[in-house]
């Protein structure tokens, strides 16, 4: 019966790929339309001068989310793509010269933490127990049931449990400080907010589940490069009969008063659809594809964009042995950095820098004796009322490289032989992300209680959304889970 149900998926990011696979596994006839020349969305790759740069996500957690997608299709994920554990999880560099590793090995972790003080390992263990409780209660309802609003949360868990189990009256920073007294360790756990591109001083304490997602389920690299995951999902989708239309842009959603009826393509063709799934972020989709007015968009403004980033991919002609696979170089004043990005719309004078050196796990990604240095400081998303020029972004690039040289990467600028440099304008243009955001919707207690936009359209009963701008949020496992949750909603809505 469902083979007669035509699904069109707009966009081949991980959310779109996941939805396509999940629905094709249930017998729907699925077509994926993607404006770029390859699948994966922000999970992208660039090969240049012998270097292979993973342009998008660099960290994979929750491997079981990906496994479930293959298992329900009757396949084994490891036959398509392999995940490699990363250890240490990441290395933390501070301005005073201290370097501290986060390790999946409990013994090594305790030894590292003891360097901060005799009480610090116990602080960490109490915090991780708190993180685990947040994770377990979230997995049982929000993730498993695809809850889409605070009201659904209240209905599922009950008012009292919702208020207590999710620590709703605290920010992420306040939740960390309940258990952690050492300021450096506070900074480290506050920066788990990197997964969702928000500020720990604004995000709800529920986001403190993120450390347990990493310590409990591991941190992984995709064998052969992160883009291998996108290729594996495309292969599975093709085996299930999914039709891909690459280099094809959707310009409008056709509809009647109650339903979306299909999509118009840039060349004038119209693809009819019984069900429509948009992997384009919600606000850009409403604006670009449904011509929503300012009044119609106003209720959606609480789902403001996450931060963006200045993205540097550097091929360098030497190895920096002090680096781990994942590294953080902290600002001398982290709160000032977060305020610059999330409140003042400024390019931070002293940003915290996320740095990826994948050659530690996969030497084949670069020529022999060379390193890949991916650098990502968070910066404000694009603002209509206040823009940053290319010169502003280049000045930040210089500040970042000078900071890295000062903190131990000697002569980094002189070692660069290959570079790819992206600003929020590039991110917005390539992926139609909302104002150049990287992680979808910001997590902010005051704006949205940490919730993203709902997956079901409020206007058309057969239009659904996946990706980082809808629940459960940004990051590779969450957007992949969104595709599986939208399958569940579609089946429930059709009595399947």
Q: Do residues 349 and 390 make contact, with C-beta atoms less than 8 angstroms apart? A: no
Instruction: Report d(CA 257, CA 22) in Å as an integer.
Output: 28
Task: Give the containing element (helix H, strand E) for 163.
Answer: helix 159-165
Summarize pLDDT for 49-91 with one digit per residue, the tens: 999 999 999 999 999 999 999 999 999 999 999 999 999 999 9
Closest CA to 467 of 431, 435, 438, 440: 440
172 closest CA partner among 119, 130, 138, 136: 130
Q: Span 271-282, mean pLDDT?
A: 98
Q: What number of helices (H) and strands (E) belong to the chain?
A: 19, 20
Helix (H, G, I), strand (E, B) or coil at 392: helix
2-43+62-82+224-302+444-493 maps to which CATH number? Answer: 3.50.50.60
pLDDT(296) > 70: yes
Q: Residue 3 pLDDT more than 70?
A: no
Neighbours of 109 (CB within 10 A): 20
Residue 164 confidence (pLDDT): 84
Q: What residues have CB less than 8 Å from 190, skipping those under 6 apart?
A: 172, 173, 176, 200, 334
Given this model, what pLDDT does residue 2 score? 63
- The chain-wide mean pLDDT, for the chain, equals 95
Share of the chain above pLDDT 90, in %: 94
20-36 pLDDT, tens digit per residue, is 999 999 999 999 999 99
pTM for this structure?
Answer: 0.96
Is the pLDDT at 474 greater than 90? The verdict is: yes
Interval 461-471 mean pLDDT: 97
- pLDDT 10s digits, 297-317: 999 999 999 999 999 999 999
Give per-residue pLDDT as tens, 362-383: 999 999 999 999 999 999 999 8
Q: Pick the closest to residue 488 from 455, 453, 447 (CA basis).
A: 455
Domain boundaries, the chain: 2-43+62-82+224-302+444-493
The predicted-structure confidence for 416-464, as pLDDT tens digits, reads as follows 999 999 999 999 999 999 999 999 999 999 999 899 999 999 999 999 9
């Amino acid at each position: 019966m469902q083979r007669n149900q035509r699904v069109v998926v707009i966009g081949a990011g991980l959310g779109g790929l996941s939805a396509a696979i999940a629905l094709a596994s249930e017998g729907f006839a699925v077509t994926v339309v993607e404006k770029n020349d390859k699948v994966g969305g922000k999970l992208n790759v660039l090969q240049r001068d012998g270097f292979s740069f993973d342009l998008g996500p660099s960290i994979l957690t929750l491997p079981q989310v990906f496994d479930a997608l293959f298992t329900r299709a009757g396949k084994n994920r490891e036959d398509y793509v392999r995940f490699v554990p990363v250890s240490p999880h990441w290395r933390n560099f501070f301005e005073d010269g201290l370097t501290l590793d986060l390790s999946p090995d409990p013994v090594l972790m305790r030894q590292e933490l003891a360097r901060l003080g005799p009480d610090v390992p116990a602080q960490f263990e109490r915090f991780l127990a708190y993180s685990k409780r947040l994770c377990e209660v979230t997995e049982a309802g929000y993730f498993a049931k695809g809850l889409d609003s605070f009201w659904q949360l209240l209905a599922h868990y009950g008012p009292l449990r919702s208020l207590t189990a999710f620590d709703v009256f605290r920010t992420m920073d306040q939740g960390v400080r309940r258990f952690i007294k050492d300021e450096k360790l506070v900074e480290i756990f506050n920066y788990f907010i990197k997964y969702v591109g928000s500020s720990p001083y604004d995000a709800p304490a529920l986001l403190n589940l993120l450390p347990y997602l990493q310590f409990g389920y591991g941190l992984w690299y995709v064998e052969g490069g992160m883009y291998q995951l996108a290729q594996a999902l495309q292969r599975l989708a093709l085996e299930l009969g999914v039709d891909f239309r690459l280099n094809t842009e959707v310009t409008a959603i056709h509809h009647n008063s109650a339903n979306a009826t299909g999509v118009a393509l840039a060349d004038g063709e119209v693809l009819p659809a019984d069900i429509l799934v948009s992997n384009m972020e919600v606000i850009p989709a409403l604006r670009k594809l449904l011509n929503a007015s300012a009044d119609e968009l106003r209720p959606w403004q609480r789902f403001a964009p996450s931060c963006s980033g200045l993205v540097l991919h550097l091929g360098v002609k030497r190895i920096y042995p002090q680096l781990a696979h994942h590294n953080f170089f902290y600002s001398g004043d982290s709160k000032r950095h977060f305020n610059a990005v999330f409140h003042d719309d400024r390019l931070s004078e002293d940003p915290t820098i996320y740095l990826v050196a994948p050659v530690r796990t996969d030497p084949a990604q670069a020529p022999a004796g060379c390193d890949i240095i991916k650098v990502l400081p968070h910066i404000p998303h694009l603002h209509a009322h206040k823009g940053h020029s290319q010169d502003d972004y280049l000045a930040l690039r210089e500040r970042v490289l000078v900071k890295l040289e000062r903190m131990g990467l000697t002569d980094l600028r002189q070692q660069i032989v290959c570079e790819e440099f992206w600003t929020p304008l590039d991110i917005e243009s390539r992926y139609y992300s909302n104002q150049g955001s990287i992680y979808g919707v910001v997590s902010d207690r005051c704006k949205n209680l940490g919730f993203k936009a709902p997956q079901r359209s409020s206007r058309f009963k057969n239009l659904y959304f996946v990706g980082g701008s809808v629940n459960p949020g940004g990051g590779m496992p969450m957007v992949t889970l969104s595709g599986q949750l939208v399958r569940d909603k579609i089946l429930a809505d059709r009595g399947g």
